[in-house]
Structure 1
Amino acid sequence: MPAHRTEPPHAAAGERASLTAFLQYQRDTLAMKCAGLSAEQLKERAVAPSDMSLLGLVRHLAEVERSWFRNVLNRESARAHWQGRVPGEHADFDVADADPDEAFEVWQAECARSRAIVDALDSLDSSVDFRGDTYSLRYVLTHMIEEYARHNGHADLLRERIDGAVGE
């Protein structure tokens, strides 16, 4: 896991370079929020009554990467990595028996696949039809930045409750 983040370009940069850099910055932020914690701390549901944990966020974002980049943009039928106790239910946040090393490996692999899919698309206007809607690469990148930013806010609160670490 990176101990730091690469800043997105501050000067003029193309839209694609800006969007992909901001998404990577958000990914790096999640890794930073999880760095240096034990398996038990990563699993801790530190903000009652929520059952969110840092490890659950990592697993959830691995699934979000899989869903948007592989299933939507790349038209794959990649199945969820973790199944819930009820058939069809996903188990992103059910981390009691989860292996943190596996979760981070899956998340990092999904991020790498996502980057490869983005690199293979010609333009931000590249689009696909998925379940009755049309999605462009621009939309997916923007949505993913929003998704990570929202969950990184949750990660901030969880981390502060776990060990008092605040800010960046």
Structure 2
Amino acid sequence: MGMTKDQREEAKKNFVAQVMKQLGDLTSLGGSELKVKLKEMHTRICKLEAEKYDLEKRLQTQEYDLKELNERQRQINRQKLQSKGMDPNSANSRYPPKVAIFSKYDRQIDRRNFKERKSLYDKKNAFPCFPNVPPPPTILDFRPLNDGEPKSPGIEEDEEPEENETKEEEEEEEEEEEEEEEEE
């Protein structure tokens, strides 16, 4: 904050006392000496006012020059960004640019022709293949070995299936087979 009212008055009295000491005792001076002293003070005040005016004008020209230089710098930066192919308006904004986030689930344009698309669905277990998307896992069809039914892939005729399955698993498989037969 500032000084209180009393402190300001005290500072003012001290300043006036210092100025009076520099001037000397004016009461003992005569009329002509007083006029000479008055002219000296007037020339000193005029000189200080002239210096003040010059400094104010110098400050204004420096501020103007600074604004001009900043504007030139912005124009140069804008031209550099345009030459690089970037948007110059986004470079001058207060906020950073948005981060582009791409998802593999975004829509992608299918650039295949009709025959290529149709060939995908001609297969028995067809699934579409999209770029940057892994294919679905393959489904293997295993069936237990019985006398009248075909054997599972990968088991040769000489080998017998392992008897590791529990009764619960066998019952579940039989129920599934019955459901499949009913559906057919």
- TM-score by shorter chain over 0.5: no
Higher strand share: 1
Higher relative contact order, chain-length normalized (CA < 8 Å, sep 6+): 1
TM-score normalised by structure 2 residue count: 0.18
TM-score normalised by structure 1 residue count: 0.20
